[in-house]
Amino acid sequence: MKKITSTILLSLSITGGVFTSCDIDRFPNNYMASDQVTENQEVLFDNMLNGMYAQLKTWSDPMHRLGEYAGDNMMIRGASTDAFYEFITYSRTPDNYRLQSFWDYGYKAIAQASNIINMAQDTDDPEIKSKLGECYYVRGMMYFYLCRAFGRPYYQAPDKNLGVPIVNGTPSEEEIGNLSLPDRSTVKETYQQAINDLRTAENLITTPFKNADYASKEAAQAMLSRVYLYMSGTYENPNTLYADSAVYYASRVIESPNFHLVSREDYMKSARTAPENYPEAIFVIKRLAADFPGDDYYYGIGGMYSNIGGMGWGEMYASAKYLELLDETGRNDWRKGDDGIVDARAKFIEPQYSVDDNGNYTEVLRFITSNATGTGFTYVQLPVNKDRTECWTVDENGNPKDRYPISLYSKRTPEEEYYTINYNGSTYTGVVDYQMALNNGYPMFYITKCSREDNLESQLHSPIISRLDEMYLNRAEAYAKLGNYGSALTDLNTIRERSIPGAGYASLDATNAGERIDKERQLELAYQAERSYDVFRNGDPLTRHYPGPHNAMEDIPATDYRVTYYIPQTAINSYPSGCTLTQNPTSDAGVILN
């Protein structure tokens, strides 16, 4: 019988699992003994690679929730007992099973990739070497994603703050009895590990790009563009060396003949398009309908954002802040279908309008007020008359009660139907719209960017890692940090005018570049797990002054200890005796800024 050196062993400590010293004579799925790989590389390599990619499927779920729920693109209908609620409320704890899953499967992917690299690194076979490049890509990507969640923003003392442990491969059978594992490397060291891996991937992958299901040379370049952007400092204090590298790698992808920006019409269909048929897709975590048996779609990423095909909780909605950004250059009026879409990104939002017993819509003025306790905000919907001169509250029988005059809002066009109202002693601005269905008092603005892949009426979705639109925005930001505002403006408007024709900016300079580029990144990359990291890496505070059960009056500065997630306690507890896995600071006093 043979013992297996596999990611199972890594779970002894890094992933907090359990190992027993018994002989194993049957291989788990996607794992095999090292001597088998050595003897049958060409036959077994694809199976090992598939095992590596399989880890990403489970990893991608908590990855999305960590990145997106901590941002300001969405809100939840109410408090939840689910572990992800801590991501929304910034009530950081180390005992969180979703956080543990992100850590565990990230390191399982690292171990799987490392084992393949270690087993076949001396090969001269060009096809095997190219596939080894895929392993280096996955490993580099994992170190970057883990470090941006558990490590401080790069501009904050990267040589002092801790990133994550660098453990490239599983221990040998001889090492198990006296296992020793390193503490966390610094943020700088972890980023350098990611860069080294991604550059190696770029050099090794020689097979032509086929589709976004697997790593490619361009996928490595796209990730390098993002990594260097994260290292490029803030707009106020940029690191031009890293900004220049971000420009270089974004340009390599933009210049590749394998990708091109689609039309506005096709972009609005992108959520419904299988990634292998979408010319902007560089790398995604490919999901299949077979991955979701029974009611598993409820528990996918899109399941919290909407109910599609009878599947999904539909308890998280587009935030008022994100909706306001969509409406900034012109109101998106979903009542008119696609003809009412001003910003193409609004196509991924679907208001759930309610009808009466006869199937008719009720027109209302919808606006946001401070809540009764002054700790947040609340939505109000009041029926409005056809002349648009007044609206009213209703009693328990549905009869008009208190009436309020309304008037057109002078800063918007009459066609947009923005009105002002003096309500309970204060003046508010709102829009005339159909009455929306409410969940716990919140209008249900479904998010469908993570649903309906391949035109299926389901929650099928392949999480996006890299797309071409991000490359233009990466390059725009890097150019701005280099002071090349003309080139930054060109890239920024390339993306902006695709979604809002004719709305490009006339100029860009040091006084407005940060705000405008950040805004476009928020609009374009929403619901792709980027937002919260984008805010903090540029030194900005997260502001969520909109309705929801979160503390809307609390801003989270980039210097807050809660910007980083805690290391899962299970990983700390399972570290070998005599080894240390250091926890993140539990208060602002422990944060190192310079």
Rounded distance between C-alpha atoms, residue 104 and residue 59, angstroms: 8
- How would you classify residue 311: left for phi > 0, otherwise alpha for psi between -120 and 50, otherwise beta? beta
Cβ-contact 438, 39 below 8 angstroms: no
Q: Which of 201-205, 379-383, 396-400, 555-559 has the lowest mean pLDDT?
A: 396-400
Q: How many residues does the chain have?
A: 594
Mean pLDDT value across residues 445-450: 98
Residue 61 CA neighbour count, 13 Å, CB half: 24
Nearest to 348 by CA among 416, 439, 446: 446
Mean pLDDT value across residues 99-112: 96
Q: What's the confidence (pLDDT) of residue 41? A: 55
Rounded distance between C-alpha atoms, residue 544 and residue 75, angstroms: 9
Strands (E), 387-494: 390-394, 400-408, 418-423, 426-434, 438-439, 442-443, 445-447, 464-467
- Residue 584 clears pLDDT 60, i.e. is over it: yes
- Residue 177 clears pLDDT 70, i.e. is over it: no
Instruction: Say how many C-beta atoms besides its own lie within 10 A of residue 482's C-beta.
Output: 17
- Residue 175 clears pLDDT 80, i.e. is over it: no
- Residue 43 clears pLDDT 90, i.e. is over it: no
- Where residue 13 falls among pLDDT bands split at 50, 70, 90? very low
The helix or strand, by DSSP H or E, that contains position 570, with its residue range, turns out to be: helix 569-573
Nearest to 332 by CA among 445, 441, 411, 491: 445
Q: Which of 20-29, 38-47, 252-261, 492-501 has the lowest mean pLDDT?
A: 20-29
Q: What's the confidence (pLDDT) of residue 7? A: 35
Nearest to 458 by CA among 298, 285, 284, 281: 298
Tokens at residue 94, please? Answer: 């180390």
**Coil, strand or helix at 21:** coil
- Residue 29 clears pLDDT 50, i.e. is over it: no
Which residues 6+ apart lie within 8 Å of 246 measured at CB? 225, 226, 228, 229, 232, 474, 475, 477, 478
Does the pTM surpass 0.75? The reply is yes
The helix or strand, by DSSP H or E, that contains position 317, with its residue range, turns out to be: strand 316-318
Q: What's the confidence (pLDDT) of residue 23? A: 31
**Coil, strand or helix at 542:** strand
Q: Which of 57-66, 98-107, 160-169, 172-181 has the lowest mean pLDDT?
A: 172-181
Write the pLDDT tens digit of every residue in 322-360.
999 999 999 999 999 999 999 999 999 999 999 999 999
Mean pLDDT value across residues 431-458: 97
Cβ-contact 583, 103 below 8 angstroms: no
More confident site: 563 or 180: 563
Write the pLDDT tens digit of every residue in 125-155.
899 999 999 999 999 999 999 999 999 999 9
Tokens at residue 246, please? Answer: 């971000």
**Coil, strand or helix at 522:** helix
Q: What's the confidence (pLDDT) of residue 10? A: 40
Nearest to 274 by CA among 217, 182, 212, 224: 212
- Where residue 202 falls among pLDDT bands split at 50, 70, 90? very high
Q: What's the confidence (pLDDT) of residue 31? A: 44
Q: What's the confidence (pLDDT) of residue 19? A: 35
The chain-wide mean pLDDT, for the chain, equals 91
Q: Which of 37-41, 196-200, 213-217, 583-587 has the lowest mean pLDDT?
A: 37-41
- The widest CA-to-CA distance across the chain, in whole angstroms, is 84
Rounded distance between C-alpha atoms, residue 420 and residue 328, angstroms: 17
Cβ-contact 573, 16 below 8 angstroms: yes
Rounded distance between C-alpha atoms, residue 246 and residue 480, angstroms: 12
Which residue type occupies 308? I
Nearest to 128 by CA among 223, 208, 43, 27: 43
- Residue 226 clears pLDDT 90, i.e. is over it: yes
- Residue 247 clears pLDDT 80, i.e. is over it: yes
Q: Which residues pair with 391 in a beta bridge?
A: 384, 404
The helix or strand, by DSSP H or E, that contains position 106, with its residue range, turns out to be: helix 97-120
Rounded distance between C-alpha atoms, residue 467 and residue 212, angstroms: 9
Map 138-168 to HEC letters: HHHHHHHHHHHHHCCCCCCCCCCCECCCCCC
Q: How far is CA 523 from CA 280, 322, 499, in A?
A: 17, 7, 10
Rounded distance between C-alpha atoms, residue 199 and residue 336, angstroms: 48
Mean pLDDT value across residues 500-515: 98
Mean pLDDT value across residues 435-444: 97
More confident site: 392 or 47: 392
> How, if at all, do strands 426-434 and 363-370 pair?
antiparallel
Mean pLDDT value across residues 389-414: 94
Q: What's the confidence (pLDDT) of residue 471? A: 98
